[in-house]
Amino acid sequence: MRPASFALFLATALPTVLAATAEQWRGRSIYQVIVDRYALSKGSANTPCDTNARTWCGGTWNSLRDNLDYIQNAGFTAVWISPVSQNYEGSATPYGDPYHGYWIADATQLNSRFGTADDLKALSAELHRRNMYLMVDVVVNNVMSPSLTPDYSKYMFKDQSYYHPYCLIDYSNTTSMQNCWFGDEKVPMPDVDTKNPTVVEKYGEWITSLVQEYNIDGLRIDAAKHVNMDFWPDFCGKAGVFCMGEVFSGNTTADETAPWQGPQALDSVLNFPLYNALQTAFAIPGPVNGKNDISVLAATIEDSKKQFHDTGLLGNFLENQDVPRWHNVSVDPQSLYNAMTFTFMSDGIPIVYYGQEQSMSGNSDPNNREALWPSNYAQTDAYKLITTLNKFRNHLVNSTDWVKQPVQVMTASPEGIAIMKGPVISILTNIGSPPRNDTNIAVNTPYPPSTPLMNILTCQQWAVGAKGMIDAQYTLGGVPNILVPSNTLAGSGLCGAEQTVISNNGGKAKPLDGGASHPSPAASLVVAGVLSLVFALTHIG
Ligand SMILES: *[C@@H]1O[C@H](CO)[C@@H](O)[C@H](O)[C@H]1NC(C)=O
Ligand SMILES: *[C@@H]1O[C@H](CO)[C@@H](O)[C@H](O)[C@H]1NC(C)=O
Ligand SMILES: *[C@@H]1O[C@H](CO)[C@@H](O)[C@H](O)[C@H]1NC(C)=O
Ligand SMILES: *[C@@H]1O[C@H](CO)[C@@H](O)[C@H](O)[C@H]1NC(C)=O
Ligand SMILES: *[C@@H]1O[C@H](CO)[C@@H](O)[C@H](O)[C@H]1NC(C)=O
């Protein structure tokens, strides 16, 4: 704990430097927002947003700031916002307007559509007041032009010599991926020459000043694999904060993505191998001839541990602005809950794309960029599940070294998988909502017989059976299970355990309401045959 006088010294001497490192991000949980689609300004009519029109629907940095409770109350400790830099300003293109923020013009200017410099600073300050981090999406690979003959005077780099000449990307050729132009002939994305020393120097100066000016805690980097890898260590060093890159991949192996994480590249990448494997494991109907394959998920976990520099820093997700909503691929809610539980309880930083908690169901761009306000920010079952997952994970992060313990696969069958990370066992299934009494996932735990484990999703207690076995059955449908020794929950506020509040400055912990400890009405021993998850071979006591 640092003395108050030292904290005061820091506050006065370094008012703008709060940069967060990879280590500080490891325990965070991220909510991803497209600023234009998250919230309307106070008092404005609840106008619907036609995603097909591909134009602005009205969200701003201020309207996001005014509606942070919804994100914070769900337990998120960071917000990733769509790009803040100035975008193309002209008539609508065949792909509409840049409401998403990715059509960069001059990176050094802010996008006035979303507010002023003071508005962005106020958003950053408000997140920090809530002890949350701000992650900003940045695009350095390319700019946008409405034609194949760009007006270079509009960009940060105002001369054609700072760009590669136009060519169409051949995705089987690395040089082509890094030098040719993103987009197509209707909306071309001139490719910045990130090997040019002036570009390297100016981009470095820009990112240093952007991060400091707006107190940014981390960067999400668009199209990272379309830039020469050796550009990143210097760029992220100058940013001085955590960098998570987009390395798009359709593969469940890490061959393509893993080289982009490490000292030679980026702190972190978005976990596309896991995303692909989770679909294969949990989407209903299963993507492999209508069937699922959980062995692919088990293989991905092992492969990722071998190949990635640090799986604990990867960005785990089920949706983003470029892929179909989970609900478009798999309507059964239990399918989402099981896959979602995996992203929180395995290695990596969980990321939830806004609207996922509202079961939004658009497929690809632009349908997967729905406005959130028609949902009325309802406390749906998915929202409640996410809240519990965050509360549990935040508790583990704050009070144990759980986040640093590598996940282990305990068992994998065609219909289920059990993983263990630290003391936490998650048993997941892809059978979906209809109850089944022919499905039974038996897990050999390291716990002695009779150990009481709490299922934190139901607050029902399970007792470990003979030889350390537990056995999940699904007579009430294919729900996820998260089991942990009950004493791990002390201070968590979950399942009747009292909540300990850790103050923002790392000061003394104190109970929420004067220290009364609440007996748990919800926590009770599972009675065989009555409740959904039954295994109690040995009853406690
Ligand atoms: C790869 O792409 C680069 C850039 O377009 C091109 O010069 C090169 O010939 C391509 N290589 C192959 C093997 O096609
Ligand atoms: C995934 O990567 C493996 C190993 O590099 C490769 O053999 C396979 O063809 C790839 N699959 C896809 C769908 O790209
Ligand atoms: C998937 O998305 C498309 C386009 O948004 C929509 O027409 C379709 O109904 C969606 N499917 C489901 C199952 O939600
Ligand atoms: C965990 O610590 C963070 C950072 O100090 C704090 O914001 C958060 O409220 C804590 N969460 C829990 C569940 O204690
Ligand atoms: C489940 O158990 C009931 C009662 O024992 C039985 O009638 C039913 O056929 C079983 N269903 C399945 C899917 O095994």
On whether the CB atoms of residues 340 and 428 are closer than 8 A, the answer is no
Specify the 3-state DSSP secondary structure of 500: strand
Question: Is 367 near ligand 3, meaning CB less than 6 Å away?
Answer: yes
E strands, 152-199, where?
Answer: 182-183, 188-189
Closest C-alpha to 20, from 271, 468, 349: 349
**Scanning the structure block, which residue is given the tokens 């395995």?**
346
Question: Is 307 near ligand 2, meaning CB less than 6 Å away?
Answer: no
Question: Is 395 near ligand 4, meaning CB less than 6 Å away?
Answer: yes
Tokens representing residue 345 in the block: 């309880």
Selected catalytic residue, list 119, 137, 193, 246: 246
Chain centre to alpha carbon of residue 380: 19
Task: Say how far apart CA 353 and CA 327 lie, in whole Å.
Answer: 12
Q: What is the 426 CA–ligand 1 centroid distance (Å)?
A: 47
Report the nearest atom of ligand 1 relative to the CA of 179: 4
CA-only gyration radius of the chain, Å: 24
String of DSSP letters for 292-359: --HHHHHHHHHHHHHHSS-GGGSEE-S--TTS--HHHH---HHHHHHHHHHHHHSSSEEEEETTGGGT
Beta strands 182-183 and 188-189, pairing class: antiparallel
Specify the 3-state DSSP secondary structure of 62: helix
Report the nearest atom of ligand 2 relative to the CA of 252: 1
pLDDT in tens, the chain (541 residues): 344 434 444 433 343 445 689 999 999 999 999 999 999 998 888 899 999 999 999 999 999 999 999 999 999 999 999 999 999 999 999 999 999 999 999 999 999 999 999 999 999 999 999 999 999 999 999 999 999 999 999 999 999 999 999 999 999 999 999 999 999 999 999 999 999 999 999 999 999 999 999 999 999 999 999 999 999 999 999 999 999 999 999 999 999 999 999 999 999 999 999 999 999 999 999 988 889 999 999 999 999 999 999 999 999 999 999 999 999 999 999 999 999 999 999 999 999 999 999 999 999 999 999 999 999 999 999 999 999 999 999 999 999 999 999 999 999 999 999 999 999 999 999 999 999 999 899 999 999 999 999 999 999 999 999 999 999 999 999 999 999 999 999 999 999 888 765 443 333 322 232 222 333 333 333 322 223 333 332 222 2
Task: Say how far apart CA 187 and CA 65 lie, in whole Å.
Answer: 32
Q: Is 222 a catalytic residue?
A: yes
Question: Is 413 near ligand 2, meaning CB less than 6 Å away?
Answer: no
Considering every ligand atom shown, identify the ligand nearest to the alpha carbon of residue 255 and give its number.
Answer: 2
pLDDT, position 501: 56
| Top mutation candidate among 394, 397, 488, 499 for ligand 4, by most atoms within 8 Å of CB | 394
Helices 272-282 and 333-345, packing angle to 10 deg: 140
pLDDT, position 520: 32
Cis peptide bond upstream of 449, omega within 30:
no
Q: What is the 175 CA–ligand 1 centroid distance (Å)?
A: 6
Q: What is the 173 CA–ligand 1 centroid distance (Å)?
A: 6
Residue nearest to atom 11 of ligand 3 (CA): 328
Whole-prediction pTM:
0.90
DSSP state of 499: B
Task: Say how far apart CA 254 and CA 301 lie, in whole Å.
Answer: 10
Residue nearest to atom 2 of ligand 1 (CA): 176
Q: Ligand 5 pocket: which residues have CB below 6 Å?
A: 436-438
List of long-range contacts for 396-404, beta carbons under 8 Å, 24+ apart:
396/422, 396/424, 396/488, 397/27, 398/27, 398/502, 399/491, 399/492, 399/500, 400/488, 403/26, 403/27, 403/312, 404/26, 404/312
Q: Phi and psi dihedrals of 32, rounded to 5?
A: -95, 130
On whether the CB atoms of residues 140 and 227 are closer than 8 A, the answer is yes
State how far the alpha carbon of 371 is from the alpha carbons of 101, 328, 375, 411, 526, in Å: 15, 16, 8, 40, 41
Question: Is 179 near ligand 1, meaning CB less than 6 Å away?
Answer: yes
Residue nearest to atom 5 of ligand 4 (CA): 504
Q: What is the 275 CA–ligand 3 centroid distance (Å)?
A: 20
Enumerate residues 6+ apart whose C-beta is below 8 A from 508.
none
pLDDT, position 18: 56
Task: Say how far apart CA 51 and CA 63 lie, in whole Å.
Answer: 19
Residue nearest to atom 4 of ligand 1 (CA): 176
Q: Is 246 a catalytic residue?
A: yes
**Scanning the structure block, which residue is given the tokens 């949902």?**
375
